[in-house]
Chains A and B, each alone.
Chain A
């Protein structure tokens, strides 16, 4: 899928925010095209929820502009931004039924203040027709979410999963230009989480809004999103497709954050010619700059090799279709993803090497350094 930039989606440019002397957002820019699903992924406290609140207009940033649906909305009230949000706590109105909760965004927009008045409002011209249309829209949204029989219940009488659907329905009922979700699955149990993931993606496709989905769960981000924005300490480190984020991280922090089990890290040095050395042996790799570097390699890209390095088995985990072998190579701890029938015993020495094409190099500043392959120099 390809998306045109700013084709009526949502974008943030140069957002900065400091709260109580602590920088929360440091010059954050991000854009989500119409119909695109972007996951904002980061550890808790990295500023991802604050960024979402700035986009919704609940929090005003110190600097930066927000555009939604092709309009600049930086100074507009949340109600005028054409944005809908699902809160982590769902934030359903406890005194209203599920149907009334879903109807709120419509009644606030389609009915005048007089028409919303209890008792008297029902007598005003046009209010009966408007209310009937709202009831129809609510039913149309609620039915595919399986909320039909629950519409007359109050949030207190609904399960966590049902509340979550009501919150989703309330957000999409008025077909907003931008759709924000703040960790919507974090209060659900594991089984429900996986099924709800698909439902959210389906709702997103149906609504066609620019969707920004905040999560700290990388499997959610990688499975659901068209693109993933990895955020840490108030900065977006990388915004790219899930595959690109996994295969080609531009920053050591991204490489470390994405992937389970985590990526393997080894200290290597590049001599003045750029030749890389690991533990006194030359690697078939060149780097553009000399000095100490960090070599990162995914567990599935490590392999058994009779000519490789000696590594001691610390322990092994059998996981059905594969096994994870924890190894020690010098001072580094490595994880190797092996076939399930490999029986490694602790204390045993294995010989390992890695696919040079899959190696990622990072400088001491954490930035990516290009690695060039060459024929192994015979020592």
Chain B
């Protein structure tokens, strides 16, 4: 065909233009991921040649009590942080949107944990939750309750870390919900009022909550992914202790890989982590296509 020649030239041009992006994607993302996947099936310690061992790493993971503990802890942590920070984020967004004054001030205050350095903030939390000199227990003492050793008792350490996680995520979720709220036409809430939705709760049920559906789904997914990734508070405050009571997935991966230098096993844990995140994203896109899209 006569048109084929210029088309081909155009296609080459297109490839040439995408080359820098394609190359950096391949070098920085695709190759390391593939290398990690390959490593997950080997026994590989730094300085030694990797040995192919098939699924042995995964079998070990299944039987390793430490890993199971860490997996369970991560699920508990996500189970606490995701619903609480989503609920708190929504409540804050609704309150700030409804208020006439101080909108920018409150938004900034609650967004602060998102932009501040977690490692630095963790030391502030360490002080707040200190069993003897910390203000939290000082307050509890004032009403006659002997507060626990929040971060050093295996009964409370996960709850304390989850509380910090909620504090970290709620502001982020609040900003996302506020964006979602501004996208709801004001006329819909007015129509609801004229149609007989007299209380704010009725208008929320009739208009706001259903129309926030896509936002809520996104916020829930992103919060779950963010809280599965919990690492820095654990690394700074508890190092997985006491007695592995606060071991979480990424911290286990880190200690296996960088403390015990078992890179193969660490890569296998990474793969499990990747599978969970991809699974969550898949669920999100499927639900988004089916249920909460109004077209």
Which of B28-36, B84-92, B152-160, B183-191 contacts the other chain? B183-191
Q: Determine the chain A residues whose CB is within 8 A of the CB of B211 once the complex forms.
A: 94-95
Residues of A within 8 A of B202 (CB): 108, 113
A80 interfacial contact with B, CB 8 Å = yes
Q: Give the complex CA separation of A109 and B210 in angstroms.
A: 20
Q: Which of B187, B192, B195, B213 is A89 in contact with, Cβ under 8 Å?
A: B187
Count of inter-chain pairs, beta carbons less than 8 A: 68
A89 near B193: Cβ-Cβ < 8 Å: no
By the criterion CB–CB under 8 Å, are B188 and A93 in contact?
Answer: yes
Nearest-CB distance from B247 to chain A (Å)? 40
Which residues in window 78-133 of A have CB below 8 A to B?
A: 78-80, 83-85, 87, 89, 91, 93-95, 104-105, 108-109, 113, 116
Interface presence of B27 (CB below 8 A): no
B residues contacting the other copy or chain, number (CB 8 A): 21
Please report which residues of chain B, range 185-211, place their CB below 8 angstroms from some CB of chain A when the two chains form the complex: 185, 187-188, 190-198, 202, 205-207, 210-211
| CB of A173, distance to nearest CB on chain B (Å) | 10
Given A93-B207, A113-B202, residue A87 in contact with residue B187 (CB < 8 A): yes
Partner of A87, one of B191, B210, B213, B295: B191
- Known contacts A89-B187, A93-B206: does B194 contact A56 (CB below 8 Å)? yes
Instruction: Given A95-B210, A108-B202, answer yes or no on A77-B187 (Cβ-Cβ < 8 Å).
Output: no
Say if the beta carbon of A223 comes within 8 Å of chain B: no
Chain A residues with Cβ below 8 Å from B198 are: 77, 79-80
Q: Which B residues from 147 to 197 make CB contacts under 8 A with A?
A: 185, 187-188, 190-197
Distance between A156 CB and nearest chain B CB, rounded to angstroms: 4
Contact B193 A58 (CB under 8 A): yes
Q: How far is the CA of A170 from the CA of B196 in the complex (A)?
A: 12
For A105, give its contact among B187, B196, B294 (CB under 8 Å).
B196
Query: Is residue A204 contacting chain B, with contact meaning CB distance below 8 A?
Result: no
Q: Mark B284-295, 1 if CB is under 8 A from A, else 0.
A: 000000000011
Instruction: Write the B204-240 contact mask toward A (1 if CB under 8 angstroms, else 0).
Output: 0111001101000000000000000000000000000
Residue in chain A with minimal CB distance to B207: A93
Would you give the shortest CB distance from B123 to chain A, in whole angstroms? Answer: 46
Cα-based distance from A93 to B205 in the complex (angstroms): 12
Is A91 within 8 A of B196, CB to CB? Answer: no
A-B CB contact pairs (8 Å), 11 listed = A78-B190, A79-B198, A87-B187, A93-B207, A94-B211, A94-B294, A95-B210, A95-B294, A109-B196, A156-B295, A157-B295
Q: Which A residues have a C-beta under 8 Å from some C-beta of B?
A: 53, 56-58, 77-80, 83-85, 87, 89, 91, 93-95, 104-105, 108-109, 113, 116, 154-157, 170
8 closest residue pairs by CB, A with B? A108-B196, A91-B191, A79-B198, A94-B294, A91-B187, A156-B295, A78-B193, A95-B210
